[in-house]
Structure 1
Amino acid sequence: MLVLVSVALRVRDVVRGVWREAAKFGVVGALAFVVDNGGYNLLVFGLPGGPEGGVMRAAPVRASVLATGAAALFSWAGNRYWTYHDRHRVNVAQELTLFLFVNVVGVAITAGTVFASRHLLGLESVLSDNAARVFGWVLATLFRFFAYRRYVFVAP
């Protein structure tokens, strides 16, 4: 009976730790989303009520790449120094490379759900595209969370 109580307490502590980690991961991700989308809108459309268009209004694709890059760096720093502050690598370049690779796979997962929706299922509506993107985003987020824990931010 004592062993069962000990195992139950251990499982409870592990679940609490993962939930705390997942919450921090979610906060960093939400803020990175704001950096990405807010940065893009500021670069392309400018400040609300300001002059028409932002500094990159004629280059929306480059603005998107710049905003997404800034969001990725923000996400890496937030996860490295807050979510996984006790589990980051000494070799920063290796960690950042792994982080970026995991994110490229995450983008491919999201794009893959849209591809499957369009080309395999033949769905072409706004609703189906957005549903596919949300489904892909959920899958990619789960992938990132577990890949960060297992491969990117490892215990020293």
Structure 2
Amino acid sequence: GQTGGFADPNHTINIEGDMRFDPTNSVKLEGTYRVPIFGGFNVSGVYNYTTGLAWGRTASIRGLAQGSETVRIEPVGTRRTDPVSTLDFRVEKTFPLGDASHQVGVFLDIFNLNNRGVIDNGSSTGVIESSSTTFGNPNVWISPRLARLGFRVTF
């Protein structure tokens, strides 16, 4: 017999709609500024904005001849997650190490500086799509603000 996504007509119910992993808009801004005071250091930042991803309600139907099936009861795109907006920041100071081609750098990274607690759309729609008491609840969050202190050696 046939197998695969289109062998079962239940898999084509409400299949028309927006693509799941296709945000309407995505913006990324990056910049670095060399601050001349204190012997010079770099300040850089990355801003990301992505509109929410498309999703729609599903339901598990039991008692079918082939067993239980999950069917889409709303087209994808009926709903969208909240937009994701993050700001990452770095301050770095470098020091010469011997000749000009060798350097050591000390840096501080701060990720999600604006500490936006929103659904992470990176690996899925980030919400529970199935009809249940948890419908629409987030299942993946963006990591909270995180600071990292480090160093690097260039040679």
Pick the TM interval, shorter chain.
under 0.3
Structure 1 or 2, whichever has the larger Rg, is: 2
With the length of structure 2 as denominator, give the TM-score of the two structures.
Answer: 0.24
With the length of structure 1 as denominator, give the TM-score of the two structures.
Answer: 0.24
Instruction: Indicate the structure with greater strand content.
Output: 2
